[in-house]
Amino acid sequence: MSCMHTGNSSLFKERFEFMNKVETISGIIRSRRAIFPAMYTGEKVPEDKVWELLENANWAPTHRLTEPWFFIVIPQEKIHKLCEFGAAWYKEYTLPEVYSEMKYQKIKTKALSASHIIAICMKRDPEKRVPKWEEEAAVACAVQNMWLTASAMGLGSYWSTPGYALNSKEFFNLKKGERCLGLFYVGVPEEGLKLESRRQDVKSKVRWFE
Ligand SMILES: Cc1cc2nc3c(=O)[nH]c(=O)nc-3n(C[C@H](O)[C@H](O)[C@H](O)COP(=O)(O)O)c2cc1C
């Protein structure tokens, strides 16, 4: 009798668990959405949940184990400092013909509803054992781990890359070889949000080598 017929065989159990895992991870991956601060209630996320995000970020793949990611966590009480820096940076570095007072005000206030903002940072391997892009890719993998975890927790989150964040070396007191690659927003989403997204058919992006 084959294992499939025994019902309680370990092979059947493993296969069943595997199917469950695939369904679970596919569900999380496909339902993950960019959820913006305008959609947050302003409530705080408990710190242990933030640590869970960071722990999973830390398990990203990394060529030669350079582990190039690190994070600066900005709790809600301090977010106003980032907003003020962002707005001032925008005012200083935006060409007058592009500058918008509305955008300036938005930068000053929009992030305040977040519970935490995590600055996504990268430290280049001092010996440059792997190309820079591979370290950037590893950081992106870490961010995706956080994003998927936040989604599984029912939190709102997204990766934002405003000019001021990419030019925040002094603000975050970064050292030589360190860079900020953007901000990861974390917040409690309002109930009943309709979050839609779309992707082109994967078949249009796949070529089977013949
Ligand atoms: C590297 C990276 C940078 C991003 N930067 C921004 C950003 O600056 N502003 C923004 O609104 N969304 C940003 N996003 C989020 C995308 O806008 C979002 O993923 C896209 O709209 C698709 O929506 P979905 O993730 O809900 O499917 C960024 C995403 C990535 C991967």
User: Domains plus CATH for the chain?
Assistant: 32-190 (3.40.109.10)
Least confident range of 4-13, 109-118, 195-204: 4-13
pLDDT band at 8 (very low <50, low <70, confident <90, very high): low
Query: What does residue 77 show for φ and ψ, rounded to 5 degrees?
Result: -60, -20
pLDDT of 3 higher than 50: no
pTM of the model: 0.93
Residue 66 tokens read as 């350079």
In short, whether 33's Cβ falls inside 6 Å of ligand 1 is yes
pLDDT band at 71 (very low <50, low <70, confident <90, very high): very high
pLDDT of 179 higher than 80: yes
pLDDT band at 12 (very low <50, low <70, confident <90, very high): confident
Average per-residue pLDDT in the chain?
94
Does residue 154 come out as left (phi exceeding 0), alpha (psi in the -120 to 50 range) or beta? left
Pocket test for ligand 1, best of 30, 159, 164, 185 (most atoms within 8 A of CB): 159
Pocket test for ligand 1, best of 146, 158, 168 (most atoms within 8 A of CB): 158
In short, whether 158's Cβ falls inside 6 Å of ligand 1 is yes
Close Cβ partners of 198 (under 8 Å, ≥ 6 residues apart): none
What is the spatial distance between Cα 160 and Cα 119, in angstroms, rounded to a whole number? 10
Q: What is the mean pLDDT of residues 144-168?
A: 98
Residue 91 tokens read as 């005012």
In short, whether 31's Cβ falls inside 6 Å of ligand 1 is no
